Structure 1
Amino acid sequence: MKRIASLLMVLSLLLSVKVAVAEDEQEYAYYGFEPDIVTNYISNRKKLGFVKISVELMVSNPNDLVDLEHHDPLLRSAIVEILGNQAEDKVKSLAGREEIRRECFETVNRLIEQETGKATVVNLLFTKYLYD
């Protein structure tokens, strides 16, 4: 009886290790918006401020790239709207940039979930972030 119990413990341990390894072997893929996103933002000065960003969407399944490409205009429009509603101080600060990135991520995931039935975006990255 002890032998069976120890054999079951070893077997369950091996299965849990195999599951953990399988989770680490996910195939991440990235979808980049082309061309870069350029828009104006609310400026404290008399001239308009602008921001130019490169955005990469990270997904855990490469098959989801087709959905992102199909809904590119919707997602791009949402990001442009978010950026256009930001104050200059927020656009130019590191903490503000992170808040904007997080808001873009949440919005993109919500929109793609509405369109496809699943939230496929794991992360949203700003790979270029220029402002004036």
Structure 2
Amino acid sequence: MASIFSKIVNGEIPSHKIVEDENYLAFLDITPLVEGHVLVIPKKEVDYIFDLDDELYTGLLLFAKKVARQLKTAIPCKRIGVAVIGLEVPHAHVHLVPLNQMDDINFSRPKMKVTNEELAITAEKIKAVV
């Protein structure tokens, strides 16, 4: 059965896409830790990040690096944090989280509740950065 991320890739579930190419997709987390929390995935569904072949793995990280630069310009923050948890969705993914303090990337704290309109505004801010 396809993961929720594969359904996003296939257009079966809507998302707030930031950028994509033939192999990778970056989109907003719908329950973010902070504004601008982005998920970066390979379009090919592989459950565990360390099961990705070397080319897909390094490509994912290079793609995430480009997205992180774009994100840092769009969302005022000190740094972009990177996390790979891999338990919540069986599809390899990287979290990019704008950081102003360490707690901004604490996954055990309550997530933000944001509207679809707020996500759309954030997505447009990030996409506007070239």
Task: State the TM-score, normalizing by the size of structure 2.
Answer: 0.31
Higher-Rg member (1/2): 1
Structure with greater helix percent: 1
Question: What TM-score, normalized to structure 1?
Answer: 0.30
